[in-house]
Copies of this chain bind each other. A is one copy, B any other.
Amino acid sequence: MLDPWTLRVLVEVARRGSFSAAARALSMTQPAVSRQIAGLEKRVGVSLFQRVPRGVRSTAAGAAAVDLADEILARLKAMEVHLTAYATLDTGQLRLTAFPSVNSSFVPAAIRRFRAAYPGVSVSLTHPDPAGPLAAVRAGRTDIALLTAWDLAAPVDGIELHRLLDDELLVALPVGHRLAGRKRVRLRDLRDETWIEGGHPDCLGPAPQLADGLGSAPQIGFVCDDWNSKQALVAAGVGIALVAASAMMAIRTDVAVRRTHPELPTRTLYAAAVAQPFQTPPVAAMLKMFAMRTKQLDTSEFPAVLRVHE
């Protein structure tokens, strides 16, 4: 295997025209250079430099060798730079997995911030894995998976969980609904309503508490994956739905969102990622972005939330 250091010596000798000068330039001694070149010449079986009184002169083979070596050294350097770029987030990729209700505003906002900070890293956002968020991370199918507290069974080793947000659960009604005028809606008053459930289990919230508040199990009228369709169904008066406060950036004007009484427990949002030693720089950076987002989470960033208090 040709040693790059030998190639480095080779090009320096060709450039300087002398072993001694090359040695000085490379902070080594002249005998070391002499041996390097001699070894290379012995290896390829051809003289690369003609020894002349003033120093050395490239032979035809030597000149060709210098050209090839220059090319290779440049590529080695480029490889190192390219790989280092992964550490400095100048390049790389990040795969996110999240479910519809956080995809409406929370995740896109984080991605926007991430992209602004690290434009070289390509971010992809995929739908939830059938095997669950933790399994998806564990199997390496995604880098960060978002999940809510009640997805969380036993904490899995090798997976880091980051608490991102305590998300308030609200009820979405058509603006013309009989209870839409209230600041808070009594859950008990909703016991006869038809509920629209999201495709993801998180989208209906903690069923036991909801059932307790209603006084009976909610009547599920529709199951609908798509957040837009869900809103449209609510607006059309087909039914009512639970929504998370963090998703209210994308709320329609013909849908009213109201707090409940009693309040439903907050839904805690977590990010799951592989644990520290094997965490890639983009993952760590995105987790920081999420954390930063949490700190700055206030009602001013969610103008739609204000409408809750109308």
Query: How far does the alpha carbon of A48 sit from the alpha carbon of B75 in the complex, in Å?
Result: 19
Selecting from A17-25, A28-36, A56-64, A293-301, the interface stretch reads: A56-64
Query: How far does the alpha carbon of A2 sit from the alpha carbon of B74 in the complex, in Å?
Result: 11
Docked-complex contact B51 and A278, CB < 8 angstroms: yes
Which residue on chain B has the smallest CB distance to residue A61?
Answer: B86
A47 lies within 8 A of chain B by Cβ = yes
Contact partner, A80, options B44, B48, B76, Cβ 8 Å: B44
CB proximity of A76 to chain B, nearest CB, Å: 5
Q: Which residues of B contact A78 (CB under 8 A)?
A: 68
Query: How far does the alpha carbon of A49 sit from the alpha carbon of B146 in the complex, in Å?
Result: 24
Tell me how many chains of this kind the complex includes. Answer: 2
Contact with B along A68-106 (1 / 0, CB 8 A): 110110011011101110111000110000000000000
Docked-complex contact B79 and A281, CB < 8 angstroms: no
Given contacts A72-B79, A75-B68, contact A2 B4 (CB under 8 A): yes
Query: How far does the alpha carbon of A1 sit from the alpha carbon of B7 in the complex, in Å?
Result: 11
Interface size of A as a range? 35 or more
Docked-complex contact A278 and B140, CB < 8 angstroms: no
Given contacts A50-B140, A76-B72, contact A44 B1 (CB under 8 A): no
**Top 10 closest A-B pairs, CB basis?**
A45-B87, A44-B83, A61-B86, A46-B86, A68-B79, A46-B87, A1-B4, A60-B93, A2-B76, A72-B75
Binding site for B on A (CB under 8 A): 1-5, 8, 43-48, 50-52, 57, 59-61, 64-65, 68-69, 71-72, 75-76, 78-80, 82-84, 86-88, 92-93, 140, 274, 278, 280-281
